[in-house]
Amino acid sequence: MNFYSFVEGPLLWTAFLIFIIGCMMRAVTFYMESRTKDKVIHEHFKWGYVLSTFARWLLPMNVTVIKNPVYSVLTYTFHICLLAVPIFLAGHISLWEESIFAVSWPALPQNVADWMTLAFLGIAVFLLLRRIFSADIRLISTFSDYFLMVVTALPFLTGYFATHGTLNHISFLGNNMMLFHMLSGELMLILIPFTKLSHIILFFFSRASAAVEFGRRGYSI
């Protein structure tokens, strides 16, 4: 087995397992700690509070959108592209079709996926520059924040280059761009459970906890 076969085979499935098991462990740990430290939330838990806040935050119907409409549009677009492109890209779906699971689902048209990728990368650059040049945000930023932004953008950048042969005139990059794409995607999957990227899962738990806490006091968030 050569290195490329290892990356597209065992390493890919190892990354998926670490991602799935790691996220499950983070979710279980969050829940168990809340049972001990935030008993009041479980005593006053109501699905109405939770579903209401999910609707307001997953859809653009919260106070943040009203106060910062442009930034909100950008961040919503960023997260939609972040989730939709990897899941609904035809090339990724074909991998699942050829796997032992043999599953498939509708794919995005290639031109739509391309535009979403470019939109994601453009917003990523904006968010990175905002973090660098905004004094307030730079003050609370750590190396991890910059590093994770780069890690998140790399699979999109390398995937776009690999699909369109953008750097094929540079033999080393052109010959290895798909390898870089797979490695960067696997790195992101592995890091998600152990970094701030875990908010892809913990968002729902923390938002639900806050919704119950505010809801029992007569407020909505």
Rounded to whole angstroms, the Cα distance separating 30 from 37 reads: 10
The series of mean pLDDT values per 10 residues for the chain, 221 residues long, is 89 95 93 81 79 79 77 92 96 90 93 97 96 92 95 97 89 91 97 94 85 73 61
Report angle CA 30, 34, 39 to the nearest 5 degrees.
165
Say what the pLDDT of residue 221 is.
61
DSSP class of 169: T
At 219 the pLDDT is: 61
| pLDDT score of 72 | 87
**pLDDT at position 51:** 84
Task: Give the pLDDT of residue 49.
Answer: 80
Distances (CA, A) of 1 to 64, 77, 95, 179: 51, 40, 19, 15
Q: What is the pLDDT of residue 118?
A: 97
Three-state SS at 84: helix
With the CA atoms of 4, 8, 9 and 11 taken in that order, what torsion angle do they form, in degrees rounded to the nearest 10?
Answer: 90
pLDDT at site 177: 95
Quick one: pLDDT at residue 138?
A: 92
pTM: 0.88
Asked if residue 211 lies in contact with residue 47, where contact means CB atoms within 8 angstroms, the answer is: no
